[in-house]
A and B are shown apart, each in its own frame.
Chain A
Amino acid sequence: MNSDRALLSVRGLTKRYGAHVGCADVAFDLYPGEVMGIVGESGSGKSTLLGCMAGHLAPDSGQVIFDTRAAGPRDILTMSEPERRMLTRTDWAFVHQHARDGLRMGVSAGGNVGERLMAVGARNYGAIRARVADWLERVEIDAGRIDDRPATFSGGMQQRLQIARNLVTGPRLAFMDEPTGGLDVSVQARLLDLLRGLVRDMGLSAVIVTHDLAVVRLLADRLMVMKSGRVVETGLTDQVLDDPQHGYTQLLVSSVLQV
């Protein structure tokens, strides 16, 4: 690991759905500890882009180069399936907008977090349970709920549980798809605070897709604005929001209700 070397380098990433462009020719570098926000309206291609980077969708062309612990920079698109699966269990996290998509609803809260540890080789029951309890506490879930199923949790708790499940293995990169979407504002604030602390304390890098400009202002160091599958503007988050250069970004920023 080298903080002067990009953790993730995306080059020419393109995905088409027939004649329709999902995302086209996207390129950027993400450095260790950096948080990048991707904003745009529904249909702008931000979720397609996230899916292509995280290996959920197969892009038509491009490279997604990740600085692996073992072998340095590798293009994940040319990795074997087992290699990529290992990466998604260890160094990568993916936080879905709907916690249900990222949790196993039939398994206890503790099981949801613990099975990730077991997947990377943890075997000692007591040690696993202690790690899980520690993580539940970090995401502010009462340890007394460890044996309850997530279906009995509120939406905000489910989202925090999903984050614990994803981060327990100490990943270096997190992909997040609208992580605060669909939550009450008070719950959102709590989640933002949690994510900020995790990014700082774990040195985590993250790519966050959202349509909420207030969320990116507080969480993201850098911003990428997408429209019709293309990146129309990039820059420092506060600069893009306060002095937008592209017409679309200007429209996006001026459309936000002030509170």
Chain B
Amino acid sequence: MIRVQDVSKTFTLHNQGGAVIRVMEGAMLQVAPGECVALTGPSGAGKSTLMRMVYGNYLAASGVIEVGGVDVTRATPREILALRRHTLGHVSQFLRVVPRVPTLDVVAEPLRALGTPAEAAHAAAAALLRRLNVPEALWRLSPTTFSGGEQQRVNIARGFAHPYPALLLDEPTASLDAANRAVVLDLIDEAKTRGAAILGIFHDEGARNRVCDRCVDVAAFCPGRAA
């Protein structure tokens, strides 16, 4: 479902004398449907960079990144938007939303974008928020003023609202208490059972061991090592 083939990444800093920073070379990995693969490696090794490239948020310098048959490195913006709408979900560490939009609408948004009627989308969103223990009193409020843990759960609810065939999870259990952490791990297990291919970053070792089938150490893709 997700295939990363010989991918490299450079940053060219035009305003600092055109310095070229090579951050990744020869990245390889595959995630099959129903599988959860963890990216590991020390901070700065490029876990987030690789994940961002898979999402189409960073441009790869070379190589192929296939998600559900679409090569993200060559796809047009329009194709990537369609891929993100239908196929590729993403739970990031940051919640970026239009201020003032109620939490329930934020979570229902991915379903609404796929044409689900408002009522059904809201029902699905409410079920997820309830499961993630976000108090109902908060649903009509914008999540911009929520605590870190609450925002994290809103983000997770939104990421799991539509049953994406492929999912990217960036630290999904960070800043969660034990009870909510368990809910998130259950959601991941359920997504695997329905056949989702999941690529994630988990600093929480216990969480990683429970849901991940394999680890890929991104330190192996550091340019210095290959050269």
Taking CB atoms and an 8 Å cut-off, the chain B residues in 42-75 that contact chain A are 52, 56-59
For B112, what are the chain A residues with a Cβ–Cβ distance below 8 Å? 200
Binds A, one of B30-38, B92-100, B169-177, B192-200: B92-100
Interface residue count on the B side (C-beta < 8 Å):
22
The answer to the question of B101 belonging to the interface, with a C-beta cut-off of 8 Å to chain A, is: yes
Nearest Cβ on chain A to B51's Cβ, whole angstroms:
12
Q: Do B15 and A236 have beta carbons less than 8 Å apart?
A: no
B100 touches A189 (CB 8 A): yes
In contact, A245 and B12 (Cβ under 8 angstroms):
yes
Q: Per-residue 0/1 for B81-111: is the Cβ within 8 Å of any A Cβ (1 yes, 0 no)?
A: 1000000000000001111110000000000
Band of interface residues on A: 20 to 34
Q: Of B57, B78, B96, which is within 8 A of A243 by CB?
A: B57
Q: Which residue of A lies closest to B100 (CB)?
A: A189
B135 contacts chain A at the CB level, 8 A cutoff: no
Q: Is the CB of A236 within 8 A of B81?
A: yes
Question: How long is the Cα–Cα vector from A246 to B18 in the complex, in angstroms?
Answer: 11
Residues of B within 8 A of A250 (CB): 13-15
Contact of B57 among A234, A238, A251 (CB under 8 A): A238
Q: Verify if B80 is at the interface (C-beta below 8 Å from A).
A: yes
B77 touches A (CB below 8 Å): yes
A221 at interface, CB cutoff 8 A: yes
* Contact between A193 and B101, CB atoms less than 8 A apart: yes
CB nearest neighbor in B for A185: B99
Task: Determine whether the beta carbon of B57 is less than 8 Å from that of A192.
Answer: no
Inter-chain contacts of A254 with B (CB < 8 A): 15
Which 9 pairs between the two chains have the least Cβ-Cβ distance?
Answer: A247-B14, A189-B99, A236-B77, A243-B58, A189-B100, A222-B77, A192-B98, A193-B98, A218-B98
